Amino acid sequence: MPVVANRLINERSPYLRQHAQNPVQWMPWGDEAFAIARREDKPIFLSVGYSTCHWCHVMAHESFEDEGAAAILNEHFVCIKVDREERPDVDRVYMTFVQATTGSGGWPLSVWLTPDLKPFLGGTYFPPVERYGRKGFPEVLLAIAEAWRDQHAQIIEQGDRVIDVLRQQVNSQAPAAGAPARGAEDVERGVNGLWESFDREWGGFGNAPKFPRPAVLQFLARAGAADDATPETRSRARLMLVTTLRKMAMGGMHDHLGGGFHRYSVDGAWHVPHFEKMLYDQGQLAVSYLEGFQLTGDRGFADVARDVLAYVERDLRSPGGGFFSAEDADSLIEHGSSAHAEGAFYVWTRSEIESGLAEEDTAIFCRHYGVEGQGNADPRSDPHEEFSGKNIFIERCPPTQTASEFDLPLERVETVLAAARAKLFELRSLRPRPHLDDKILTGWNGLMISAFAKAARVLDEPAYLATARRAVDFIRGHLFDDQSGVLRRSYREGAGEVRGFADDYAFLIAALLELYEADFDERDLAWAERLQKTQDELFFDAVGGGYFSSEAGDAHILVRLKDDHDGAEPSASSIGALNLLRLAALTDRSEYRHRAERTAAAFALAPDRLVQMMPLMFVAQRALGAGSVQIVIAGPRSAPDTHALLRVAQSVFLPDGIVLLAEGCESQSRLARRHPYLADLRPVDGHATAYVCRNFTCEPPETDPGQLATKLKPHE
């Protein structure tokens, strides 16, 4: 019998399209579905996920493709599918409900709503029959349908109470009297709080599953460079940062053949990953490795950053310059097969490696990357039986140790490993690729643009600047309405209808500010200021401070929430506060600093707790109390001595500093309108000159790059 497509067939989202052929009569989130629920007095079954989510695929195959489960859903419910990446506002409300009522959350998100969209029951993955300590999905559906019939009034009342409680929680958040001034003692408390959960052997924090949490790594980099912190605090911060960066890069969460990082590790040793690759992880982790390089001088961290950026340019960059969202964890086991498995694209048997490499090269490669004849991903320690006999590449030791064990020169071993990786990458490219989610999200592109712009600065690589510039041009050309000043959230086969959220603005503004300091194009700064104005108008909480995630006025979003967690993605308020401080320093406009203070005051928690929840908000609060550092390079942009000074200023880790270029032309006159003192800064004796100003006091001018590096270098 031919399959009849449901209402998702006309959607642009890859996730919604994946479900367009289900026997479930799915509808997209919108008025039509809500009207049917009200007219037929049926509860809504809301399923939220995303196209590269492994357990979303599992539940879809087990239940949504099953005729029996679909018949129950179609008879008793109005079924709505939502792509969480397109509609984070919808996801955020109902995820908050599920986390509050069950103690956990995740995707797929399964929530039952009254016809007026109020949640009364929720969970995540439901198996087709009872297992994992969870009721079978059909059994759950029938029980809910019976309760809706027999206890209708009570369920409606329960939904009302739930929303009332959520609204009270939001409205009860009174603003603090002022933004906390975070001093050295607060940094120490924050570092010590992380130290308690730090894994001394493998890096990272807590037990399995283990997530990278780049926001924490960015806090640690700043704590490791804090001039006023104790040597012990700086040492602990650096140890946690360096150990985590190194162990992640050596582990299986890092794709040693193709570059980039998988989503997280299911174990504590970064060995067996959850194999999806998300754009937002690549952008943030590239920044973390660049900052690790800046702080320590370890070239290995720079190499990892380059590796991440190479993966994104090769596999996630659209022909138009924007970046795609993600690659799936699952793929076909082989061409011609209908069977999918998580990690099938990435795992190897020993025999597959032996057939692709010479005997000696196989021995060296397998020793270095932990390959075993019986496989190194033991299914007894991991729930995925398909990994039995397979290997996930992990660096067991540094190349120097491998060279010593084989009694070979280091250069020879490094050459063998590089050639082997290239050969195996070529062989892997013949396998069926994981699904690519090719929608382009404004906010996630902002995170990735920041990484490329920062890499252009730190690594002195113009090609990265060109990549960042193309992506910005794509966003401006396709996802920005120049007349209204409003962003759109996503692009696929054209711009989507959904307007941008607070994080779309915050992440893109941060990218533009990073790009401005890399290229000194005043158009970037002007657009950042315009977007900041729109973000403030649409999302700023004038009463409590901070940024709501979504706009006011959408009757279908029952509660406007603020993110209070820097998780897989940083919160809009954390990045917003940092943007405002950077804008204040770049433009000398006090209103930006005032708004940053009000944003920071909305999250006045104890320092150790804040570092756990919102490490980047702590960074913003810390920056409010610290004096800003301005580095002005006076000299023609094209002159070699100007470039040499810029190279130093932009490569040193100085998170609270900004770099300006005084070229002695009209651009310097425009800068001087914001910063009058810049009008008098000129090259000394015909040589490009650096002026370092701290806390409104300028130090003696410097023309020697080495002396400038010494002056700017953070404390050990």
Burial class (CB in 10 A: 0-12, 13-18, 19+), 426: exposed
Residue 323 has pLDDT above 50, yes or no: yes
Contact 175, 598 (CB under 8 A): yes
Segments making up each domain of the chain, as ranges:
7-171, 346-430, 629-712
399, 400, 406, 409 alpha-carbon torsion, rounded to 10°: 100
Q: Do domains 7-171 and 629-712 have the same CATH topology?
A: yes
Interval 635-664 mean pLDDT: 91
Contact 217, 241 (CB under 8 A): yes
> What is the three-state SS of 547-616?
ECCCCCCCCCCCCCCCCCCCCCCCCHHHHHHHHHHHHHHHHCCHHHHHHHHHHHHCCCCCHHHHHHHCHH
Burial class (CB in 10 A: 0-12, 13-18, 19+), 427: middle
> How many CB atoms lie under 10 A from the CB of residue 223?
27
298: alpha, beta or left, given left = phi > 0 and alpha = psi -120 to 50?
beta
- Classify domain 629-712 by CATH number: 3.40.30
Domain 7-171: which CATH class? alpha beta
Q: What is the DSSP letter of 107?
A: S
44-49/78-83 β-pairing = parallel
Q: What is the pLDDT of residues 187-227, one digit of tens each?
A: 999 999 999 999 999 999 998 999 999 999 999 999 999 98
Residue 381 has pLDDT above 50, yes or no: no
Residue 380 has pLDDT above 50, yes or no: no
pLDDT > 90 in the chain, percent: 81
pTM of the model: 0.95
Residue 2 has pLDDT above 70, yes or no: no
CA dihedral for 56, 57, 58, 60, sign (positive or negative): positive
Contacts 24+ apart (CB under 8 A), 584-591: 585/628, 585/630, 585/658, 586/513, 586/516, 586/525, 586/658, 586/660, 586/674, 587/525, 587/529, 587/674, 588/674, 588/675, 589/674
Determine which of 172-181, 256-265, 419-428, 579-588 has the lowest per-residue pLDDT on average. Answer: 172-181
Contact 640, 647 (CB under 8 A): no
H-type helices in 257-332, by residue range?
Answer: 279-296, 299-311
Residue 693 has what pLDDT?
Answer: 84
Q: Which amino acid is at 364?
A: I
What token pair was written down for 653? 């880790």
Determine which of 338-342, 522-526, 574-578 has the lowest per-residue pLDDT on average. Answer: 338-342
Q: What is the DSSP letter of 543?
A: T
Q: Which amino acid is at 592?
A: Y
List Cα–Cα distances, 579 to 224, 507, 585, in angstroms. 22, 9, 10
Residue 131 has what pLDDT?
Answer: 82
Residue 379 has what pLDDT?
Answer: 46
Residue 171 has what pLDDT?
Answer: 66
3-class SS at 113? strand
